[in-house]
Structure 1
Amino acid sequence: MAETELQIAGRHYPIRCRDGEEMHLAQLAAMIEQKARRAQQATPGLTEVRTLLFAALFLADELNDLRRETAGRQAQLPLDGDEDDARAIEALADRIEKLRERLADGVADA
């Protein structure tokens, strides 16, 4: 088990994590630190707890927006793509069969 220290909103937090996850945790802490600074700049004099609360709210808001965006994109995708594809293939097969018949009629007439 590895140990690392994260700095968020001016405080140091010793954290244990699985070996090799230190860099990932540092990246997450940097995201939280960025949001904490934003909270402190927007509302000077926040307590540490409120700073972290607002940082968490900012991150949750971004996550919520991303989820909504993803859901919107998924809603635009055709649900029955396989069924639509099958219909398109059947229509093409019908056209090919009609062309084959016309060609066969043309050859028989010649």
Structure 2
Amino acid sequence: MAQITVMIDGKAYRMACEEGQEDHLTELAARFDRYVGHLKSQFGEIGDLRLTVMAGIMVTDELSEVNRRLKALEADVAALRQTRDSFAAEQERSEATIAAALGEVAADLNGITAKLNGRTVARH
């Protein structure tokens, strides 16, 4: 396990993480520090624990909103897939109908051609 030191509200915290995840953990800590800094600028010195709890609630609220939006997008994607599948099935039916109609036209043309060829041969 890798060890890194992150800074939150001017205090150093030593943390362990998976190898290769150091930059990611550093970025997460920096983002959390911005929440703490924002709250500190709004409310002043209200205590480390309270600041941390409030910042945690803000992060959780943001995550909740992202999850809500993700569920809505997943529902939209499901609806689009269903619509796509319905259109694809309809197109297959249309293509089958067109193919059948073309088959009938081809058979009619073959019949007409055969009749015309029979008449042409009879005339010579």
Q: What TM bracket, shorter-length normalisation?
A: 0.7 to 0.9
Deviation of the 1:8 alpha carbon: 0.8
Question: Percent of pairs identical after alignment?
Answer: 24
1:67 is displaced (CA, Å) by 1.0
Structure 1 segment 10-89 matched on structure 2, within 5 A: 10-76=10-76, 77-78=78-79, 80=82, 84=86, 85-89=88-92
Specify the SS of the correspondent of 1:5. Answer: strand
- SS of the aligned residue for 2:15 comes to strand
Offset, 1:42: 2.1
Larger radius of gyration: 2
Equivalent in the alignment of 1:4: 4
Q: Select the structure with the greater relative contact order (CA < 8 A; seq sep ≥ 6).
A: 1
Aligned amino acid, residue 90 of structure 1? R
Residue 45 of structure 1 aligns to a residue whose secondary structure is coil
Cα contact 1:9–1:51 (8 A) shared by 2: no
Tell me the SS of whatever aligns to 2:19. Answer: coil
What is the CA–CA distance in structure 2 between the aligned matches of 1:27 and 1:45, rounded to whole Å?
Answer: 24
Q: Would you say the 8 A contact 1:9–1:33 is kept in 2?
A: yes
| SS of residue paired to 1:19 | coil
Between the two proteins, the alignment pairs up a number of residues equal to: 110
Counterpart amino acid of 2:15? I
Greater percentage in helix: 2
